[in-house]
Structure 1
Amino acid sequence: MTLAVCMQGITKRFPGVVANDNIVLNVEKGEIHGLLGENGAGKSVLMSILYGLYKQDEGRILIDDVQCEMDSPATAMKHGIGMVHQHFMLVPSLTVLENIILGKEKIKNGILLDYDGMHKEVKEFCDKYRLNVDLDSKIYQIPVGVQQRVEILKTLYRGADVLILDEPTAVLTPNESEELFNAVRSLQKEGKTVIFISHKLKEVLTICDRVTVLKRGQVVGTINVANASEERLTDMMVGRKIIYEFDRAATATHQLVLKAERLQALNDRDFPALRGLSLEVMNSEILGLAGVEGNGQTELIEALMGLRRLTAGKISLQDTDITKMSPDERIR
C-alpha cells in the first residue's frame, strides 16, 4: 500500500469544541477515498488542515512519506494538494480560461501574455481529463455544473495530484452529479487521488473505493465500499438505526394565510429566477421548498419578505395585498 496522504494524530480545537480529536487518515495513491459524516462531524475542518487553511494543534501530515508543514494553501499546492470548495471561488466577470490561469499566467517576449499558448495548454487539460468547457465563456454565463468543472481544472492546472472535493454535489442536479462522477473516474484513471467529502450515503457507495467515517470529530472507522452498505454506514455515522417512516396525523388546515400569484423576479445577475410561481400556505401548515441550490429558493424568500422587487405577480397576506409593502410593514 502506497500512501498519498497520511494524517497522524490530528487534533484541532476551537473555543468550546474539539473539531478533530486525534484523527488518523490514510489515503492510498490513485484511490477515491470518501470522508463521510453528519454536518459538524469535522470533515471540512480536517481537509482545511490538509489544505493549509487551518493549522492543527497536534499531529503531523505526511505526503508521499515526507512530513510536511501545511502553513498555507500555497504550500499545500506545492505538495500537490488541491481543494475544490463547496462554494466556488471564481471571478464571474472573467472567462473560463482567465479564471483557470489566474495567477499562473505565462509570458512571451518578456512582457506579453502568451494567451494562445495558454489556451492550447488548457484545452489539452480539458481533453485529457474529459472536462469539456467553453474556455471563452464568461463564468456568469455558464451553469453551476460547468463552473464546478472550471474549479477542478483550475486546481489541476496548478499541479494537484491529490484533489479534495468538499460536498461537490450540494449544488448539482442529478444529471450534473453523474457527469461529476464520470469526471472523477477519469481523474482516477489518470493516476490522481481524490478525497470525496460527503454526508450522502448513496453517492459515497457509488463513487468511492474506501470510506472513512467521522463522528463528533473522531474516526469511527475506515472500510472498503465493496463491504459497505447504507445500513452499516448509517450505524457508523449516528450510532443507531434510522427510522425513515413516521406515523403522523394529518393537520387540519382551513384558513388561507399566504398566497403568491404568478410571481416573477430576476436574480442578482438580472436573469429570470422566478417564472410565474404560485403557492398557497394554510394556517398550522409547514410548507417545504425542495430543489437544488440556485433554482430560485432564495429569490422567492426575498420576494416574500419584500427584499427583492417583483417584476410581476401579487402577494397576499390574510387577504391583504402586501406586494408593494416594505419589509418592515410586512413584519408588522
Structure 2
Amino acid sequence: MGGISLAETMVEMKHITKRFGNFVANDDISLTIKKGEIVALLGENGAGKSTLMSLLSGLKKPSSGEILIKNKVVSLASPRQATQQGIGMVHQHFMLIDDFTVLENIILGDEKTKYGMIDRMGTRKTITDLAEKYHLQLDLDKKVSDISVGMQQRTEIMKTLYRDAEILIFDEPTAALTPQEIESLLVIIKRLASEGKAIFLITHKLSEIKEIADTCIVVRAGKVIGTVKVSETSTYMMAEMMVGRQISFAAEKVPTNQMRTVLELKRLVVQASKAVPSVNDVSFKIATGEILGIAGVDGNGQSELMEAISGLRKVSSGNIMLNDRDITKFKPRKTTQAGISNIPEDRQNVGLILPMSVSDNLILQDYYLSKNQSKGLLNKSKIHRDGQKLMSDFDIRADSILEPVGSLSGGNQQKVIITREISRNPDLLIAANPMRGLDVGAIEYVHKQILKQRENEKAILLVSFELDELLRLSDRIAVIHQGKIMGIVKTGDVTKQELGFMMAGQPIPTH
C-alpha cells in the first residue's frame, strides 16, 4: 500500500518452531514481509500470533528455524538486538513507566547525550519533528499516569520511530482505544507503510484488516492455516479460516418480559475530583430482560458510573435503587450480595488475580460463604469439583483447574470472569467492554452469554466503545457526554452516525 515498490524483502521467517516444554506454540511457520507492506496476523486468542512476533522482537528465542532481515540471517537474542536490526514492537499492554513523562519514556534506554548530559533540547526537537511528520499528538511533559490510553499508544509508537525502526509490530493496537482514536491510529499505520515501513498487525478486528492490510496470515493452534490477499477475501471467509467453523455475527434477540424495573438511578452525581462531576445528574431505569447500552468516548464518566453502582465509589448525591431497595451507600460486598455482578473493563488488573489458580479466581466473590468452607478452612476438594464443572459448562480452556489464570489466553481469562459473575445468578449484570481484545470466536461466545442472561430476564448494563456491538446487543442506548446523559434511544431508531453526534455533545437527533 502507499504507492511504492514492494520489491525489497524486509523480513523472512523460515520454519520457525517455538516449544514451551511439551507445548508447541509455533509449529513450522514460514512468512515474509516486504517494504511498505502491511501484513495482518489473524488467529484466536492463544493461537501463537504474539509468541511468533515476540521471537521477531527478541523477547524470546525460537526452538528451531531462522530469521532473515533484508536477506541476512540474524540472531535476535534480546530486544536491544532487535532494535539494532530496525525492529520495533508496540505491545498490547503498554511498556511504559507511569511516573515518567512521555519524553522520558520515549528516550529510556536510548538517551542521546551532549557534554556528558542527556541532550533534552536536541531530543525534544527530534521527537517533535517525528510527531509532526506522522501526525502523532503528544504532550511530552505530562506523566504517563496523567494521559489518555490513546496518547499512551502514540507514546509507544514514538518509542519505535525514535529508534529508527523500519519493521513495526503492532500487537492488538486498538484493543483499548475509542472509535475516534482507532480511526486516527489506522491513518498513522497507513502513513507509516507509505513511508516504506514494513508493518505486522496482530488484531482480531476483521474490519481493520479489510481497511488497511495487504495480506492476512491466518494462524490456528500454532500453525499457518493460509495466507490470503485481503482485497480478494471476505471477512466471513477469514473468520471461518480462523476458528475452523462458521461464525454467526448476528445477535438473535428473543422477546422478553420487561415488566419490572431492576435498576433505577435517580439524579445520580459522582464527584470524583474537585472539578466538574464525573457523573452529573444521571437518571435511567433498566427492566427485567433488557440490555441498556452506554455509548460515549472514553473518559466521559462511564467508569465512575459503573464503580458507583458496584459500591466501589462514593455517591455525592442521588440514589441507586436495586429491586426497589436503596443501595446507594452499600459497600462492594453488600452490593454484590444484593444481586449485582460486574465484568470489569480491565480484566487483568481488576477482574483477576493472575498468579492465583483458575479455581481460586472462580470463587473470589464467594470464598467466605459456608458452602465453600469446612471447619473454618476453604473446602478445596469441593471448590475444585465445582470449578471443574464450571470449566466444562463455560468452555474455559486450561490445562488444569489449578493452572495460574495469568497463563491463560486473553479470551479464556475473560471466560473465567464471565463464568464467575454469571454463575452467581445476579439480578443485574454490569459488563464493561467485555469483548475488548477478544477474537471473533470468543466474541461470539460472550455475546451468547450476555443474551442468555437477557432471556433469563436479568437486567444488563452494557458499556462499550464498539457502536456496532451496542447496536447489535442493546434494546436501548444511553449516550453519555461529560458525565451527562445526552439522550436514551431505542436501537432501531438511531444510526451509528447519529450516536456519534450525541457522543460529541450534540442533542438527540430529530427524524
Secondary structure of 1:254's counterpart equals coil
**Contact in 2 for aligned 1:171/1:293 (Cα 8 Å):** no
* Corresponding residue for residue 288 of structure 2: 283
Q: Deviations over 1:280-302 (max 9, x none)?
A: 33335555556676665544443
| 1:216 maps onto 2:213 in alignment | no
Equivalent residue for 1:250, pick from 234, 252, 255 = 255
Deviation at 1:155, TM superposition (A): 1.2
**Contact in 2 for aligned 1:96/1:136 (Cα 8 Å):** yes
- Residue type at the aligned position of 1:146: M
Equivalent residue for 2:43, pick from 28, 34, 37 = 37
Map residues 139-158 of structure 1 onto 2, 5 A cutoff: 139-158=144-163
Deviation at 1:4, TM superposition (A): 1.5
- Residue type at the aligned position of 2:72: V
Distance 1:282 1:152, change over 3 A: same
Q: Deviations over 1:70-95 (max 9, x none)?
A: 33222221222111112323334433
* Corresponding residue for residue 197 of structure 1: 202
| 1:169 maps onto 2:174 in alignment | yes
Query: Which 10-residue stretch deviates more, 199-208 or 278-287?
Result: 278-287
Q: Deviations over 1:260-293 (max 9, x none)?
A: 3344446799996544444433335555556676
Question: For the residues of structure 2 that align with 1:204 and 1:294, how far apart are their CA atoms?
Answer: 27
| 1:54 maps onto 2:60 in alignment | yes
Question: For the residues of structure 1 that align with 2:110 and 2:259, how far apart are their CA atoms?
Answer: 62
Instruction: Give the share of equivalent positions with the same residue, in percent.
Output: 48
Question: For the residues of structure 2 that align with 1:27 and 1:267, how far apart are their CA atoms?
Answer: 48
Secondary structure of 1:33's counterpart equals strand
Equivalent residue for 2:128, pick from 116, 123, 142 = 123
* Corresponding residue for residue 186 of structure 2: 181
**Contact in 1 for aligned 2:310/2:332 (Cα 8 Å):** yes
Map residues 87-126 of structure 1 onto 2, 5 A cutoff: 87-110=93-116, 112-126=117-131
Question: For the residues of structure 2 that align with 1:104 and 1:176, how far apart are their CA atoms?
Answer: 28
Secondary structure of 1:303's counterpart equals helix
Map residues 254-273 of structure 1 onto 2, 5 A cutoff: 254-265=259-270, 273=278
Question: For the residues of structure 2 that align with 1:293 and 1:45, how far apart are their CA atoms?
Answer: 30
Question: For the residues of structure 2 that align with 1:181 and 1:131, how far apart are their CA atoms?
Answer: 12
Equivalent residue for 1:23, pick from 5, 11, 29 = 29
Secondary structure of 1:188's counterpart equals helix
**Contact in 1 for aligned 2:218/2:226 (Cα 8 Å):** yes
**Contact in 1 for aligned 2:265/2:283 (Cα 8 Å):** yes
Q: Deviations over 1:29-59 (max 9, x none)?
A: 2211111223332222221222222333333
If each structure's helix is expressed as a fraction of its own residues, which one has the higher value?
A: 2
**Contact in 2 for aligned 1:7/1:59 (Cα 8 Å):** yes
Deviation at 1:195, TM superposition (A): 0.7
Distance 1:324 1:132, change over 3 A: closer
Distance 1:314 1:225, change over 3 A: same
TM-score (norm 2): 0.58
Question: For the residues of structure 1 that align with 2:144 and 2:87, how far apart are their CA atoms?
Answer: 24
If each structure's strand is expressed as a fraction of its own residues, which one has the higher value?
A: 1
- Residue type at the aligned position of 1:29: K
**Contact in 1 for aligned 2:178/2:298 (Cα 8 Å):** no
Query: Which 10-residue stretch deviates more, 297-306 or 73-82?
Result: 297-306
Query: Which 10-residue stretch deviates more, 246-255 or 211-220?
Result: 246-255
Secondary structure of 1:77's counterpart equals helix
Distance 1:299 1:108, change over 3 A: same
- Residue type at the aligned position of 2:318: G
Gaps in structure 1 of 5+ consecutive residues: none
Q: Deviations over 1:286-331 (max 9, x none)?
A: 5555667666554444332222233343222222222212222223
Question: For the residues of structure 1 that align with 2:159 and 2:275, how far apart are their CA atoms?
Answer: 27
Question: For the residues of structure 1 that align with 2:224 and 2:198, how far apart are their CA atoms?
Answer: 20
Query: Which 10-residue stretch deviates more, 245-254 or 262-271?
Result: 262-271
Query: Which 10-residue stretch deviates more, 195-204 or 143-152?
Result: 143-152
Distance 1:20 1:328, change over 3 A: same
Map residues 302-317 of structure 1 onto 2, 5 A cutoff: 302-317=307-322
Query: Which 10-residue stretch deviates more, 262-271 or 233-242?
Result: 262-271
Query: Which 10-residue stretch deviates more, 282-291 or 32-41?
Result: 282-291
Query: Which 10-residue stretch deviates more, 299-308 or 152-161?
Result: 299-308
Question: For the residues of structure 2 that align with 1:277 and 1:89, how far apart are their CA atoms?
Answer: 36
Task: State the Cα RMSD in Å.
Answer: 2.9
Distance 1:245 1:120, change over 3 A: closer
